[in-house]
Amino acid sequence: MERVEVIKRDITQMKVDAIVNAANSSLMGGGGVDGAIHRAGGPQILEECKKIVATQGECETGEAVITTAGKLPAKFVIHTVGPVWSNGKNQEDCLLADCYRNSLQLAIDHGCKTVAFPNISTGAYRFPKNLAAKIAVSTIKYCLQQHGEFEKIFFVCFDQENFDLMQKELIAASNPETSIP
């Protein structure tokens, strides 16, 4: 997993090919990372999101769409809709994994070599952070084994708890002999 790095930073400052936005289904911006990306990127991102919604309707949970990045230092923003946690009763784990897979597929389709992910669904959507970290790391690990196109994948954490959990999962994924209780 040498192509994966966990960092604590503002995702809107990442100079990568694509940053992933933990969007809501309307794609119209919101709170958390979604609002920060829309504010920092400027109105161009919202205008492109409006066109996507006018063409295909809202973005379903687990799906992803792509826009340019407006004023952000990235080239693209990949908007994915994470699941709202319902005690694991609505296949939230599979839907969260779909967010990572579908985002990476859009990145491949658009020639992206570097991608930065936030902690999808762990804020207002209340997905347990430890489980979200496991799903994120295992899904990215699998995708990297299938697709050699990527130079670097970043997990960009806003808070210390997510950073610590992601770091722990990444270490475990890098060393299969390490057992994490």
Catalytic residues: 34
Bridge partners of 155? Answer: 6, 117
Question: How do beta strands 152-157 and 64-68 pair?
Answer: unpaired
Report long-range pairs for 47-52 (Cβ below 8 Å, ≥24 apart): 49/79, 52/27
Q: Which amino acid is at 44?
A: Q
Task: State how far the Cα of 124 lies from the Cα of 55, in Å rounded to an integer.
Answer: 28
Residue 30: CB atoms within 10 Å? 17
